[in-house]
């Protein structure tokens, strides 16, 4: 089947390292890139009161851009996190995790409108319901191959510039219950062989699946009623992100990329998204590999970034997502000019295979 930082003092750094160590016990290294973003947010919450006082009116950034952990060891440990915050280093300043850096990614900011949104989401929902969507059986694995890149602020010897990670391939395998898996991603692990995602972790913990780190089995138990589903999303993500509506939109977007929602839930997610205030249509958006499509999007007024889910114009198949800076910010963040693509991805293959590190082409 193929369905298509702010700067820290040493004391603050030590505090962050301790919090990271505590939080890491609950998550296996490398598990779902978007879940690592939430881990970063938990670390930053320790210093949120100070930042809020220094910058009235700005709330914590869950998604992009946001400050990054600046200690080199933590930057390396979380190199897979998509960041558009300041990365402060004591060496050459290259935050690459094995992936080369280059110029900032840019695009033309497409016009957004609410015209045709209900019809578009209806068409996307129908396409999702009609898609070939086999059930994942015990012993099988969900395989997702994608291409991604990101743009971030990099600080070297007190000089901050804009840089990016080049486009690279990411391969993920996950068992239906979420206890076994594998990840190959040069932005997370320098080894070409990748790393295990299997549970329990080194402390013997097996975290329960949730909307932030869902397993296939967890998703099969979610309601497919759009109103009830959206209510659950708001409830479970309360207090996260910049606003409840933006966090609900982001959560659904995460489920579209690195999970495998059952057919009825997949369709219900789009119907739920249609009920989130502020959702718009962008007639022309481009994914990480250059495929043009139409996007369902929402602007985060705090970060000034617009998150876009990109679909094929004719088939309405999900192609990928990107985050584009739309509004100009102040201070160091002003380096992230409108038109900067802070994150982009493209789903190339989503399939069911019979073993870890097996690809669809190797299936018998």
The ranges assigned to domains in the chain are: 10-362
Quote the CA–CA distance of 178 and 174 in Å, as a whole number: 6
Q: What is the pLDDT of residue 132?
A: 81
Q: Which residue has the tokens 């060496």?
A: 91
Q: What is the pLDDT of residue 65?
A: 30
In which residue ranges of the chain is pLDDT below 50?
1-96
The vertex-6 CA angle with 89 and 41, nearest 5°, equals 105
Quote the CA–CA distance of 8 and 71 in Å, as a whole number: 8
Q: What are phi and psi of 226, to 5 degrees?
A: -55, -40
- Paired tokens of 123: 């068409």
Q: What is the pLDDT of residue 364?
A: 57
Q: What is the pLDDT of residue 22?
A: 34
Q: What is the pLDDT of residue 98?
A: 55
Q: What is the pLDDT of residue 322?
A: 97
Say what the pTM is. 0.76
How far is CA 266 from each of CA 35, 95, 164, 220, 292, rounded to the nearest angstrom?
Answer: 20, 35, 32, 10, 22
- Paired tokens of 289: 């590999």
DSSP secondary-structure letter at 55? S
Per-residue DSSP letters for 234-269?
HHHTTT-SSSHHHHHHHHHHHHHHSS---HHHHHHH
Q: What is the pLDDT of residue 64?
A: 29
Quote the CA–CA distance of 242 and 51 in Å, as a whole number: 14
Digit-coded pLDDT (tens) for 55-71: 222 222 222 232 222 22
CB proximity list for 185: less than 8 A, separation 6 or greater? 30, 33, 80, 168, 169, 170, 171, 172, 194
Q: What is the pLDDT of residue 296?
A: 98
């Amino acid at each position: 089947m193929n369905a298509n930082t702010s700067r820290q003092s040493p004391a603050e750094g030590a505090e962050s390292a301790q919090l990271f160590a505590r939080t890491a016990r609950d998550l296996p290294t490398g598990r779902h890139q978007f879940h690592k973003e939430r881990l970063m947010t938990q670390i930053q919450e320790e210093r949120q009161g100070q930042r809020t006082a220094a910058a009235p009116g700005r709330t914590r950034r869950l998604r992009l851009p946001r400050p990054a952990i600046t200690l080199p060891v933590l930057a390396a440990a979380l190199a897979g996190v998509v960041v558009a915050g300041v990365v402060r280093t004591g060496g050459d300043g290259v935050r690459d995790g094995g992936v080369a850096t280059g110029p900032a990614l840019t695009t033309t900011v497409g016009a957004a409108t609410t015209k045709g949104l209900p019809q578009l989401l209806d068409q996307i929902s129908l396409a999702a319901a009609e898609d070939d969507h086999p059930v994942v059986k015990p012993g099988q694995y969900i395989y997702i191959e994608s291409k991604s890149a990101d743009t971030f602020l990099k600080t070297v010897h007190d000089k901050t510039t804009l840089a990016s990670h080049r486009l690279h391939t990411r391969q993920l395998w996950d068992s239906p219950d979420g206890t076994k898996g594998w990840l190959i991603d040069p932005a997370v692990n320098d080894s070409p062989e990748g790393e295990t995602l299997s549970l329990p972790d080194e402390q013997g913990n097996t975290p329960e699946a949730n909307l932030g780190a869902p397993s296939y089995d967890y998703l099969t138990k979610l309601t497919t009623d759009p109103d009830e589903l959206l209510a659950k999303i708001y409830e479970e993500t309360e207090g996260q992100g910049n606003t409840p509506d933006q966090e609900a939109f982001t959560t659904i977007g995460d489920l579209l990329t690195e999970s495998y929602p059952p057919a009825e839930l997949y369709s219900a997610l789009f119907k739920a998204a249609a009920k989130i205030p502020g959702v718009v249509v962008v007639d022309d958006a481009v994914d990480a590999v250059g495929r043009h499509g139409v996007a369902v999007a929402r602007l985060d007024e705090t970060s000034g970034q617009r998150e876009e889910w990109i679909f094929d114009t004719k088939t309405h198949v999900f192609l990928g997502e990107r985050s584009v800076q739309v509004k100009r910010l102040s201070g160091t963040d002003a380096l992230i000019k409108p038109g900067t693509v802070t994150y982009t991805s493209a789903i190339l293959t989503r399939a069911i295979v019979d073993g870890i590190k097996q690809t669809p082409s190797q299936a018998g």
